[in-house]
Amino acid sequence: MRFIDAAEITETVKRLCMEANYHLNADIADALKKGFENEESEAGRDILLKLMENAEIAGREKIAICQDTGMAVVFVNVGQDVHITGGSLADAINEGVRRGYAEGFLRKSVVKDPLDRENTGDNTPAVIHYDITEGDAFKIVVAPKGFGSENMSALKMLNPSDGIEGVKRFIVETADIAGANPCPPVIVGAGIGGTMEKAAILAKKALLRPVNIRSGIEYVRKLEEELLRDINRLGVGPAGFGGRITALAVNIEVFPTHIAGLPVAVNIGCHATRHAEAVL
Amino acid sequence: MRMGETVWIMNRRNGIIRIETPLEPHMARKLKAGDAVSISGIIYAARDAAHKRMAGMIKEGKELPFDIRNQVIYYVGPCPAGPGRIIGSAGPTTSGRMDAYAPALIAMGLTGMIGKGSRSKEVVSAMKEFGAVYFGAIGGAGALLSKTVLGEEVIAFPELGTEAVRKLTVRDFPAVVVIDSMGNDLYVSGREKFRIVN
């Protein structure tokens, strides 16, 4: 049995909220640079250059990369031999979000009720996903999700007979409809299989994988590469002004599913697709 | 040649058109989809909740928080300003959510909108009728764009926090004309130019 103090979790979440919002991850920064080298559109090249400059300013001056500092999505892997002391895990995480967004001058974008729409004023609650693992490890990932891209995400329960072609069509279609809204170049996260909610969570988790790492499953890797090529043939381009670099990567996660189903979820991430993690 | 035109040509350097607000309709009508612009002067920040409130005021016959004639609205909900700063990160939000409200504002004299993402047929038809233009700012470049803001003042609905109406003074705010007053749309033409049909 290992004991972790709730206060330590709060402190970590606070720090991760700020870190994720200020610092563009290195894999994405590299992908933007590579995109700049390959972009044929003059306007597109200019946008990519400005996005790189934006990341530079944000990191240096510790201001948010984007004003939509998102709803805080938190993934926690808790070992089954871990015991949290000094308060509840959920409260500790939400307190960390509250402090991170207040002290980090991040925008409070969460409303109390989806229809009443009164702002909670402190960006809580976070959306928390828990995974119980073996042993006594504790890992936490904070992934602030902006809604320009979240709103362009989609889920479809395909028919098994739609097969891989149906999956490809739906993913490319979703990126096409998204157009300029999700701040391209985007990162496309897809979850295939499981049940409806499992596919959605897989798609969200797919966005956490670095853009320069392909799936370890051979056919999935091929699918990721083909989809990236097809999405970059759409012509949307950086900021949607027309160009070759519409997406930086397509990340796909798969899971066993039912004999009657083929769920596919597509979670679109913006050019920044923020996430920061810590192991306690 | 009208006086405005002289200024226009003199201000066109390095292919970037310099715009000083307020933006009069005859100026707005000269802008073409794809033009790179640099905006200076006063612009007004307003997004979802502020638009809903303003629509309510119009319905009740009340005065809007600012005279909207020949003005430019920027769809933005900025981050709070840290110590010693004028404003936090301040990039564009998705404009489509303001489509329900924009035509009435255009009819009242709004000549420019800054945001990101596509607009509805109703907005474009109002733009054509009254001579308004839609600028695309760089989505996700809030840190960079915040550097162009020299002044910020909340002028209405402070209780809305980030969604309050703000008067912003900007210098050299970079944008691109996405939809012009003829209805030409860069999101469509730009995409067509680079689209590869399998």
Gyration radius of chain A over CA positions: 19
Question: Which residue of B lies nearest to A122 if distances are taken between CA atoms?
Answer: B161
d(CA A245, CA A39): 6
Res B1: pLDDT = 36
Which pLDDT score is estimated for B5?
A: 45
| A150 in B contact zone (CB under 8 Å) | no
Identify the closest residue of chain B to A106 by CA–CA distance.
B79
Interval A228-270: pLDDT, tens: 999 999 999 999 999 999 999 999 999 999 999 999 999 999 9
What does the radius of gyration of chain B's CA atoms come to, in whole angstroms? 16
- Taking only the tens place, the pLDDT of each residue in A4-44 is 999 999 999 999 999 999 999 999 999 999 999 999 999 99
Say whether B187 and A234 touch across the interface (CB within 8 A).
no
Size of interface A-B (CB pairs under 8 A): 173
Q: How far apart are CA A248 and CA A33, in angstroms?
A: 10
Distance, CA of B87 to CA of B152 (rounded, Å): 7
CA angle at residue B89 from B86 to B90, to 5 degrees?
A: 90
**Model confidence pLDDT, tens digit, residues B21-77:** 999 999 999 999 999 999 999 999 999 999 999 999 999 999 999 999 999 999 999
**Nearest to B176, CA basis, from B120, B126, B133, B128:** B133
* Secondary structure of residue B111 in the 3-state scheme: coil
> Which stretches within A151-259 are classed as H helix?
163-178, 196-206, 218-231
Question: Are B165 and B65 spatial neighbours (Cβ–Cβ below 8 Å)?
Answer: yes
Supply the mean pLDDT for chain A. Answer: 97
Q: Cβ contacts of residue B196 below 8 Å, gap of 6+?
A: A233, A235
Cβ–Cβ below 8 Å for B82 and A109? no
CATH class of segment(s) B24-191: alpha beta
Q: How far apart are the C-alpha atoms of A110 and B69, rounded to whole Å?
A: 33
CA A144 vs CA A14, A61, A83: distances in Å? 12, 19, 26
Cα(B44)–Cα(A268) distance, integer angstroms: 30
A235–B138 C-beta distance less than 8 A:
no
A-proximal residues of B, 3-32, CB under 8 Å: none
Residue A90 host element (H or E): helix A89-103
Domain ranges of chain A: 2-20+65-145, 148-274
**pLDDT of amino acid B88:** 97
Write out pLDDT tens, residues B126-144: 999 999 999 999 999 999 9
More confident residue, B114 or B13: B114
B197: nearest Cα among A35, A241, A230, A238: A230
Q: In chain A, which residues have their Cβ closer than 8 Å to the Cβ of B76?
A: 67
pTM: 0.94
